[in-house]
Amino acid sequence: MTKRILVFRELSDEQLASLRQDFSVDYLPDTQSADEPAFIEALSQAHGLVGSSLMITPELLDQAPNLEAIASISVGYDNYPVDELTRRGILLCNTPDVLTETTADTGFLLIMCTARRAIELAELIKQGNWTSNIGRNLFGTDVHGKTLGMIGLGRIGAAIARRGALGFGMNILYTKASPKPELERELGARRLEMDELLAEADIVCVTVPLTAETEKLFGAREFSRMKPGAIFVNIGRGKVVDEAAMIQALEDGTLHAAGLDVFEQEPLPAGSPLSSMKNVVALPHIGSATHETRNAMAQRAVDNIRLALDGKRPLSPVNDQILLERN
């Protein structure tokens, strides 16, 4: 019996052709909602799912009676009910490592653009408003030599910290979540309680995934404890931040500036203050969005789904306890 795979994000022609050699593939790369009739119809037949950025709910899984595995084209997997998938024996895979350096580049891009007001000042030229020397009122702030406070020091956070320490001579702090002795040795990173880190950091960079523990980790209290003039950058997940509290802090000056690649609601709703505030650099979730990396992520997902449906261990399973139960 040829197994069926529903692919709801873009693959290269070669990746799609390789899957079609061994599987029956429903290719719906422009899917924007799990409610779309074509998606629901294909899901009802699917043994495998490949894609990202859709909320997969238990109710949706009820409409996928044959589903064996999901290969997400993402490292984050907060949009999947992992415990429910495990209970149902459905394997979930993600794409760590292949996107680490690109996403860390995006994190440092946000740090630099926010600190040096690059987007705001580039706009002067686009608007024909560069009519005199840039004065003090438009100066940015240095990044080199400053103190970078990492909220999350996993693969991506560590890559950002290396850029800061090794490339910009920055002092690295991180929260006490879990000790990273190898990074303390390599980068001179110091592990602090959150309040201590907020009091000392010139730039706070969030890379933690969205979990029950990290939801709204950052709110009015945390912003009030940041240094005057400090910068907040978030490339993890939008819901790690109380967005209304962040907007209030940006408006009243408690928070000097923010660089954001993720938001509570994506796409960012029209009229959100974050889309027009001069002290905000807002990017449309482009963390891993380069040709090279998105191709590598898609390839990882293709490899994962093929291995999973062939009854083999995928390259990057999330709920791999299922594999232990199978063997």
Least separation in angstroms between residue 233's CB and ligand 8YV is: 15
How many other CB atoms are found less than 10 A from the CB of residue 279? 16
171 or 316: CB nearest ligand 8YV: 316
* Cβ nearer to ligand 8YV, comparing 23 with 80: 80
Q: Using the 8-state DSSP alphabet, how is residue 279 labeled? A: T
Q: Decide whether 50 or 258 has the Cβ nearer to ligand 8YV.
A: 50
Residue 188 buriedness (CB in 10 A; 0-12 / 13-18 / 19+): exposed
Q: Closest CB to ligand 8YV among 12 and 53?
A: 53
Which positions ≥6 away from 167 have C-beta within 8 Å? none
If we measure between CA atoms, which residue out of 99, 103, 155, 159 comes closest to residue 299? Answer: 99
- Give the residue with the Cβ less far from ligand 8YV, 95 or 147: 95
| 285 given a catalytic annotation | yes
We find the least distance from the C-beta atom of residue 170 to ligand 8YV, in angstroms, to be: 24
Catalytic residue among 237, 256, 294, 300: 237
Shortest distance, position 251 Cβ to ligand 8YV, whole Å: 27
Cβ neighbours of residue 324 closer than 8 Å, sequence gap 6 or more: none
* CB closer to ligand 8YV, 96 vs 226: 96
Q: What are phi and psi of 241, to 5 degrees?
A: -120, 140
Q: Which of 4, 191, 256, 285 is catalytic?
A: 285
Give the nearest distance from C-beta 44 to ligand 8YV in angstroms: 24
Give the nearest distance from C-beta 135 to ligand 8YV in angstroms.
38
**Residue 47 annotated as catalytic:** no
What is the contact surface with ligand 8YV in residues (CB under 6 A)?
A: 52-53, 73-76, 99, 285, 287-288
- Identify which of residues 255 and 258 has a Cβ nearer to ligand 8YV in the complex: 258
Q: Do the Cβ atoms of 24 and 2 come closer than 8 Å?
A: yes
Q: How far is the CB of 78 from ligand 8YV (least distance, A)?
A: 8
Q: Which of 14, 193, 266, 292 is catalytic?
A: 266
266 is catalytic: yes
DSSP assignment string, 156-221: HHHHHHHIIIIIH--EEEEETTS--HHHHHHH--EEE-HHHHHHH-SEEEE-PPP-TTTTT-B-HH
Whether the CB-CB separation of 171 and 148 falls below 8 Å is answered with yes
Helix (H), strand (E) at residue 25: strand 24-27
Of 103, 81, 90, 71, give the one whose Cα is nearest residue 316: 71
On whether the CB atoms of residues 132 and 109 are closer than 8 A, the answer is no
- What DSSP string describes 88-156? HT-EEE---STTHHHHHHHHHHHHHHHHTTHHHHHHHHHTT---S---GGG-----TT-EEEEE--SHH
Please name the residues in contact with 112: beta carbons below 8 A apart, sequence gap of 6 or more: 118, 143
Q: How far is the CB of 74 from ligand 8YV (least distance, A)?
A: 3
Catalytic residues: 237, 266, 285
